[in-house]
Structure 1
Amino acid sequence: MSLNEVHISSLVVHVSPEHLNDIKPQIEAFENAEIYGDSPEGKIIVVLETKNQGFITDTIDAINNLPNVLSTVLVYHQIETEVDEDESDSKNTGIEYSQTEGEA
């Protein structure tokens, strides 16, 4: 039996408004990162879907270190866990668990 996790996180990235169109393609270049919206004030909503939490923190650090990024904040993190039964078992009775973490 093994655990398969999917981490779904959302971030708010605040950039200098005049650099919004320069930063967006740089964020989209990150694996598993998708932009869901932005505002003229320079705020970008980013959603990450990953298999481990380490990728989330690494991505936040990398985005925060991009030129003209003022801040990157994790606002939502959910962990979806599915238990896979032994491969030799003919019936798959996987159980799904969900855990949501509050605002960071």
Structure 2
Amino acid sequence: MNANWHVCSLVVQAHPRDMSIISNAINALEGGEVAASDAETGKMIAVLEADNSNTLLDNIESVRQFAGVLAVSLVYHQQDEQGEETP
């Protein structure tokens, strides 16, 4: 069995008026969570997890496309691969 795990954190800059909608949309993504946000500045930190890099990249692109998002910056990415060799 081979298990992959990807996690990344993003800084999302958004229009302050759209923070709630964007936060809900990120939380609705599978493996998505808003870890912190500041409605006054329109900044939030999002954490995304996925089983593969394509899903992770698709979710990052989804966040970029949400209405009201001004910028998305990748701050951290980690990939872990765990597997068992079969005889």
Partner residue, 2:37: 38
TM-score of the pair, normalised by structure 1: 0.75
Counterpart residue number, 2:14: 15
Greater relative contact order, per chain length (Cα 8 Å cut-off, separation 6+): 2
**SS, match of residue 33 in structure 2:** strand
- Aligned residue in 2 for 1:47: 47
Identity, % of aligned positions: 33
RMSD (Å), alpha carbons: 1.5
CA contact (8 A) 1:28 1:35 kept: yes
TM-score, with structure 2 as normaliser = 0.88
Structure 1 gaps, min length 5: 90-104
Taking the aligned partners of 1:61 and 1:42, their CA distance within structure 2 comes to 19
Q: Distance in 1 between matches of 2:22 and 2:79?
A: 28
Task: Please report how far the alpha carbon of residue 21 of structure 1 lies from its aligned counterpart in structure 2 after TM superposition.
Answer: 1.4
The aligned residue for residue 4 of structure 1 is 3
Task: Say yes or no: does 1:29 pair with 2:28.
Answer: yes
Task: Give 1 or 2 for the bigger CA radius of gyration.
Answer: 1
